Structure 1
Amino acid sequence: MNSCIVFPERLLIYHAGTGRSMFLGCLRVTTIFVFAFFTLVVAPTHLYAENEPLWIAGAVMASGTIPLLTVAYVSSPFVANIHLRLPQFTRYSRDLLFRYSQSLPKDAKLEITTMNFIGKPRVSLVRAADLHAVRERFGMVNYARDTKDINSKRPWWMGRAVRQFGVHGGTPLKDGSGIWDNISQTITKRSN
């Protein structure tokens, strides 16, 4: 019976693209180095210089801090990929999978992978019914969920649950093409 299974239990339905993910990871790491260089090397030099006013050291620190904060704010909701956990009956044919994605049940689970600030993947298990369409952070966030209950039950050392997600564009997929489009339409309809 397993020889008839066409799709895996976790199906990749959205991938932002390797180039985009690598660029964003490099940009984040670069801003960390710029911040460290300006605050640990350049700013103390201006701070201890006898002929310069203190505001110059403050301006140098701001010029290292502002890019770091801007990149952190704008890029934190970036979604690298999304996997759909498939029930057994949908794994046997493309037609069943496509119909499942068009009438997605509320308990359908998505594994949404974002990157933390240093580029490490962070996977959030989200029910499709918990997502709603939004427009936040200058359009960088287009899906969000309520995380108050999740955060109240999490230990302090685990950090906060990811609330905002930015899903933009994406690369063509062999098996999961069109599935994310159906799911995003369903989420948008439920949000209105």
Structure 2
Amino acid sequence: MLIYHAGTGRAVFIGCMKVTTVFIFTFFTLIVAPIHFYSDEQPNWVAPAVTLSGLLPLVFVAYTTKPFVTYVHLLLPQFARQSRELLFRYAKALPKDAVLEITTMNSFGKPVVSRVKIGELFPSKARFGLANYSRDTTKINKSRPWWMGKAVGEFGIHGGKGKIKEGGVWEIVRSHIEKRR
């Protein structure tokens, strides 16, 4: 069940910004920098400076938007799907092995879904406060193949319940996570 949505506008803006910085980096690195490198009229430091001017936005955007969470889904047992009252009763007595599916974006804006148990999440202030929840991924990364990349360990879930029907469930789940402080 969807319990948190960051908003379509914010998600589209972040995704477009990520893709745009990749294009900017590619343009500066493959087109503009070689022109300055092979030019006899330019000093030697111009080509590396142009490359750096394409790299800096990419690194900044990748670092600041990596933990941005677009969706949080709570996997519900069958009995909690029967009524709204049972849903909220389950959320208030949430077990530590309850599973959240947290969706972030990779560098190209593609969704990355992480299955996280409530007991694994803890509040944090990573990345200058941009990631407000974290989990320990050392054990997960040891068992993952190299080609899959590292597991997502930092999540930035900012804002209230949003405009979703069962947004109050996220507030209850958030309070469970905050108790682990």
- Could you say which TM-score interval applies, normalised by the shorter chain? over 0.9
SS class of match (2:70): strand
1:166 corresponds to: 156
Give the one of 108, 111, 126 matched to 2:101: 111
Runs of 4+ in 1 over 2 A off after TM superposition: none
Provide the identity percentage.
Answer: 57
Q: Alpha-carbon deviation of 1:99?
A: 2.1
Q: Alpha-carbon deviation of 1:103?
A: 2.3
Runs of 5+ unmatched residues, structure 2: none
Q: Which amino acid aligns with 1:172?
A: K
Q: Is structure 2 residue 42 aligned with structure 1 residue 48?
A: no
Query: Greater CA deviation, 64-73 or 38-47?
Result: 38-47
Give the one of 61, 75, 80 matched to 2:51: 61
Query: Greater CA deviation, 27-36 or 92-101?
Result: 92-101
Q: How does 1:18-33 map to 2 (within 5 A)?
A: 18-33=8-23
SS class of match (2:140): helix
Q: Which amino acid aligns with 2:164?
A: L
Distance 2:83 2:125 in 1: 35
Q: Alpha-carbon deviation of 1:55?
A: 0.9
SS class of match (2:10): helix
Q: Which amino acid aligns with 2:95?
A: P
TM-score normalised by structure 1 residue count:
0.91
Distance 1:33 1:153 in 2: 33
1:79, 1:166 within 8 Å by CA — same for their partners in 2? Answer: yes
1:82, 1:113 within 8 Å by CA — same for their partners in 2? Answer: yes
What do the CA deviations read for 1:40-63 (whole angstroms, capped 9, x no partner)?
111111111112211111111111
Q: Which amino acid aligns with 2:137?
A: T
TM-score normalised by structure 2 residue count:
0.96
1:71 corresponds to: 61
What do the CA deviations read for 1:126-184 (whole angstroms, capped 9, x no partner)?
1000000001112110001011111111111111111111101152101x221011111
1:43, 1:61 within 8 Å by CA — same for their partners in 2? Answer: yes
Q: Which amino acid aligns with 1:108?
A: A
SS class of match (1:138): helix
Distance 2:167 2:56 in 1: 39
Query: Greater CA deviation, 163-172 or 107-116?
Result: 163-172
Distance 1:26 1:183 in 2: 30
Q: How does 1:146-185 map to 2 (within 5 A)?
A: 146-169=136-159, 171-174=162-165, 176-185=166-175
1:103, 1:186 within 8 Å by CA — same for their partners in 2? Answer: no
What's the C-alpha RMSD, in Å, of the aligned pairs? 1.0
Runs of 5+ unmatched residues, structure 1: 1-10
Q: Which amino acid aligns with 2:62?
A: A
Q: Is structure 2 residue 25 aligned with structure 1 residue 35?
A: yes
